[in-house]
Structure 1
Amino acid sequence: MAHWYSETVETLSASLTNQQSQLTLLATAGVSLSVGLLLRALLSDQPAEGEVYQSPLGVVRSAPSNKDHPLPLDALPGGRNVQTPYGSIRVYEWGPEDGPKVLLVHGITTPCISLGGLAHALVDQGCRVMLFDLFGRGYSDCPPDLPQDDRLFSTQIFMALSSSPLSWTGAGSGKFCLVGYSLGGGIAAAFASFFPQLLSALILLAPAGLIRDCHVSFSTRLLYTGGLPNRLLKFLSGRRLRAGPLSTPKVPQSSKKIHASDVATEELPSAAGAEAQKLSRSHPHVTVPKAVQWQVNEHTGFVHAFVSSMRHGPILAQRQRAAWERLGVYLSEQQRLSSEQQESKRLTSDKVVIMCGKADPIIVHHELLDDATAALGSGVVFKYFSAGHEFPSTKYEEVSQIIFETLS
């Protein structure tokens, strides 16, 4: 009897120990699962399909007065809000209706006001100009469920053009000149590689798209090549962008590595350059640094747009070389066309005009010369400025003269 009792006690004890071990394992697994789900919720960033991050348009509209605002709604003439499936787009268009048409596409950090001085100078020479805020900048909304790549940017260009009361692409429209600055240069080159028949000329100002990967720092490659969850990436980028002031270029020309923050600051002029800017003739106080700082703090979609453009946009050569080579093939074929065929099929200018600053640390001018020539062959002309990356917002009179001569 005692022996049976002893065995029973040992069996029960072993059973209880086993149950406790199982409970401990289950509890540990439950805690691990809970922590994993929490981290996933904190770090992941999967917006709902069709979701839109709205621009500050509604807030500014409801303000009693915006004359001293960093970016007044009427900073440029001919403003309109275009409703699209991707959210609202802010477009500006003015100038003689029968003048040469010029579409301007701005950079990764700045809203389109950065090209306001250039737009005014072109209108002074008789051009019809159009500008728009890229998604997530200025007063354009941001669709967070779509990557900011060639497809989205090309779609936005078509939506902006189609909102005009004039024909920019149809029969008898006379075609249009596409001017792209920085990221906008990469966007313009990619657009032109698919739709060259729509253009009278292609002019690129310090264009992205051919930046060599060797110049990009390891930390930037880690951040923007999918190595981190979107929410964490946006947090880190947002903290840097909001640190401010983003007013003075940070990268010395001799620097060999580019960080994401450098891309943001190099589009901005120095303090002296900002004071010299006349981007808005109705609001002379508007400058790029003030407009960008307001945008960083007030636009809910800006950080996402910046991060997505860095990750998916036409910036690095390894991602965009095919587009440039496709454009080069078109230019080569165009030069072989007979004079009868050229009228309907070729660019008004059979050259792509590229302007860049000799002191630009982001777009290194001698590397751009080599790489663009390799891709485009003899179909490219270079113009140089004694300036940095920001020259289109400070030397707009000289830039506009080159554009007008190209169109003439």
Structure 2
Amino acid sequence: MALYHQTVDFLSDSWANQRTQLPLLAVSGASFTLGLLLRSILSARESTQTVIPSPRARILNGISEEENDNLPLPNDVLPGARDVASPYGSIRVYEWGREDGPKVLLVHGITTPCIALGGVAHALVDRGCRVMLFDLFGRGYSDCPADLPQDDRLFATQILLALASSPIAWTGKDSGKFCLAGYSLGGGIAAAFASYFPQMLSSLVLLAPAGLLRDSQISFQSRLLYSRGLMPENLLGYLVGRRLRAGPLVTPKPGNRKLNVADALTEELPSQTAGEIQLLSRDYPHVNIPAAVAWQVNNHSGFVHAFMSSMRHGPILSQRQYNTWARLGEYLSAQNSYSSTNRGEKGLGSDKVHILCGNSDAIIIKDELIADATAALGGNVAFKFYEAGHEFPSTKYEDVATYISKLL
């Protein structure tokens, strides 16, 4: 989420600087246009791909065990790794824990592979749970379907494909249902999925969720990524990729309501503070989110496409998702109004949606979240706030796991 705002404002900053160099632009305009034309021609073949492969085959093929161990994102970074073939490309899934334990499916955010929730997953397994994580399309070791929008439909399909790949039952009469927990973009994905398939879930936990982000938080320049035709698609992809590869520039300024310039890239990238241990992979203690994201940007050819498509079509903005959340709220209200003598099984075992967030989150603003989520869900919501920012699931994973386990 954070990377998006920084990317588009990088473009606007560049244009602002260019306005002071109009004579130079006038001279170089023709050659620049020719360069764009050549880039468009050279990129035409790539744009016709239906599936952009992950780095799995190219990087992992033939490497030694030692080389794998030293990768920023090792092939077996989490237990129970498997690659699931699908018509949309291969999906990387991780699943481990007691087979008879309460089940929790974790869905990560827009920029990070699922290792960002590795700490939460390990802590839940310590509490007797069965956990499943997967890399969203275009992240980590999952392929990227290049000819489909990354929207509610694609994300719901990916969840169902991941569930169906398990050796144990996650759905159906004897499955015991499962808790669905989503972080950032994954929170919006989880809310949308729950609005269509509440009968599959025992509970719904949203961690700093996207889905109800107000339009007022998005700068005018940022809306470029939502609009096709204003810039050549290949050029926009090139500039976005270049900005993503640059990494974080500054620390977000507190109290900045409308994210712009380089404020937000650090939001999903936790900083390591003195005395604080962030152990996301117990087999590979060196693994951290900034290095994994940088590796992903440089090695996954589908990441930039997935990032831009998620911003354009994904469950992020309130104007696109409010009705989805309202549908979920109406379902919970109807379920909670059933008479105590009604013997029908609840669709969503928990009577509320549980939303966890950081008090200093610069992406998901606390006061706006409380007001908008309460209204959309008809009051069927419980909140928990931590002294942290948007990155809290990767730094306070023991606290998050304790909260989820109590629901189970």
TM-score range, shorter chain: 0.7 to 0.9
Deviation of 1:274 after TM superposition, in Å, equals 11
**1:14-33 map, 5 Å:** none
Which letter does structure 2 place at the counterpart of 1:113?
A: I
Q: Deviations over 1:288-333 (max 9, x none)?
A: 1111110010111111111111111111111111111111111111
Deviation of 1:253 after TM superposition, in Å, equals 2.5
**1:27-106 map, 5 Å:** 41=41, 47-48=47-48, 51-58=50-57, 59-64=59-64, 65=66, 66-106=68-108
1:157 matched to which residue of 2? 159
Q: Distance in 2 between matches of 1:154 and 1:233?
A: 28
Change in Cα spacing, 1:115 to 1:354, as seen in structure 2 (3 Å) is: same
Which letter does structure 2 place at the counterpart of 1:63?
A: I
Q: Deviations over 1:30-77 (max 9, x none)?
A: xxxx9998686478798336x211111111242113111111111110
Deviation of 1:272 after TM superposition, in Å, equals 2.3
The answer to whether the 8 Å contact 2:218/2:259 transfers is yes
1:11 matched to which residue of 2? none
| Aligned with 1:175 (options 167, 174, 177) | 177
2:11 matched to which residue of 1? none
1:333 matched to which residue of 2? 334
Deviation of 1:339 after TM superposition, in Å, equals 3.1
Deviation of 1:261 after TM superposition, in Å, equals 5.9
2:4 matched to which residue of 1? none
The answer to whether the 8 Å contact 1:274/1:289 transfers is no
| Aligned with 1:187 (options 183, 186, 189) | 189
Moved more, 81-90 or 62-71: 62-71
Task: Tell which structure's C-alpha radius of gyration is larger.
Answer: 1
Change in Cα spacing, 1:60 to 1:275, as seen in structure 2 (3 Å) is: farther
The answer to whether the 8 Å contact 1:91/1:131 transfers is yes
Deviation of 1:395 after TM superposition, in Å, equals 0.1
**1:2-401 map, 5 Å:** 41=41, 47-48=47-48, 51-58=50-57, 59-64=59-64, 65=66, 66-226=68-228, 227-244=230-247, 246=248, 250-259=251-260, 262=263, 264-272=265-273, 276-341=277-342, 344-401=345-402
Deviation of 1:250 after TM superposition, in Å, equals 3.3
The answer to whether the 8 Å contact 1:44/1:230 transfers is no
Q: Distance in 2 between matches of 1:386 and 1:140?
A: 33
Deviation of 1:337 after TM superposition, in Å, equals 1.6
Q: Distance in 2 between matches of 1:249 and 1:394?
A: 20
Aligned residues: 371
* Secondary structure of residue in 2 paired with 1:272: coil
Which letter does structure 2 place at the counterpart of 1:179?
A: A
Change in Cα spacing, 1:278 to 1:39, as seen in structure 2 (3 Å) is: closer
Which letter does structure 2 place at the counterpart of 1:62?
A: G
Higher relative contact order (CA 8 A, sep 6+): 2
> Hey, which bits of structure 1, 4+ residues long, moved more than 6 A?
34-40, 42-46
Which letter does structure 1 place at the counterpart of 2:121?
A: A
Change in Cα spacing, 1:229 to 1:191, as seen in structure 2 (3 Å) is: farther
Identical-residue share of aligned pairs (%): 63
TM-score (norm 2): 0.86
Q: Distance in 2 between matches of 1:235 and 1:115?
A: 29
TM-score (norm 1): 0.86
Give structure 1 stretches of 5+ with no counterpart: 1-33
Cα RMSD for the two superposed structures: 2.2
Give structure 2 stretches of 5+ with no counterpart: 1-33
